[in-house]
C-alpha cells in the first residue's frame, strides 16, 4: 500500500513540476501555440497519480498487491509512463525551440513514443488480467 502511495505522490510532484516547466519554458522562449509540452502534466497526473490512488482502493479491499501479475504491471507501467513522458518532452522542446528535425529524427521520436505506448498498453492488459483473477476467485 505504501508503495502505491509513494508512486502516486511521486507522479503528483512530477506532474505539478511538469506543468510549471511548460508554463515557464514557453513563456521564456516566447512561444505561443500548441506544443507537446502541454501533455506531460496531464499524463503524469491522470495516468500516474490518479491511477495509483485508485489502485490503492482496490488493494485495500483485496490481495491484488500480492499478485504476480500486479507486480509485473507495476514494473512495466513504471517503465512505460516515464518513457512516454520523456518522449513528449523531447518532441515539445524541439517544437518550442523550433529545432529543424530531419525525417529520421522525427521518425525516431515518433517510434520511441509508440514503443512507450505499447509498453503501457501491455501493462494495462496485465493489470486487467490481475483484476480478473482477483475478482474471479471464489472469495469474492
Residue range 81-98, pLDDT digits in tens? 999 999 999 999 999 998
Whole-structure pTM value = 0.90
Give one DSSP letter per residue of 31-90, joined into a string: --S--GGGHHHHIIIIIIIIHHHHHHHHHHHSSGGG-HHHHHHHHHHHHHHHHHHHHHHH
The pLDDT of residue 134 is above 90: no
Q: How many CA atoms lie within 13 A of 109 on its CB side?
A: 17
The answer, yes or no, to whether residue 99 has pLDDT greater than 90, is no
Q: Residue 83 is placed in which grid cell?
A: 518513457
What is the per-residue pLDDT for 4?
95
Start-to-end CA span in the chain (Å): 20
Amino acid at each position: 500500500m505504501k508503495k502505491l502511495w509513494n508512486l502516486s505522490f511521486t507522479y503528483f510532484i512530477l506532474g505539478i513540476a511538469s506543468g510549471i516547466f511548460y508554463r515557464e519554458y514557453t513563456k521564456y522562449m516566447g512561444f505561443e501555440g500548441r506544443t507537446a509540452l502541454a501533455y506531460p502534466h496531464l499524463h503524469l497526473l491522470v495516468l500516474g497519480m490518479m491511477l495509483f490512488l485508485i489502485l490503492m482502493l482496490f488493494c485495500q479491499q483485496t490481495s491484488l498487491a500480492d499478485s504476480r501479475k500486479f507486480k509485473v504491471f507495476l514494473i512495466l507501467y513504471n517503465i512505460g509512463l516515464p518513457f512516454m513522458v520523456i518522449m513528449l518532452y523531447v518532441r515539445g522542446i524541439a517544437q518550442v525551440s523550433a529545432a529543424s528535425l530531419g525525417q529520421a529524427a522525427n521518425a525516431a521520436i515518433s517510434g520511441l513514443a509508440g514503443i512507450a505506448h505499447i509498453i503501457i498498453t501491455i501493462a494495462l492488459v496485465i493489470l486487467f488480467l490481475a483484476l480478473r483473477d482477483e475478482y474471479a476467485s471464489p472469495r469474492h
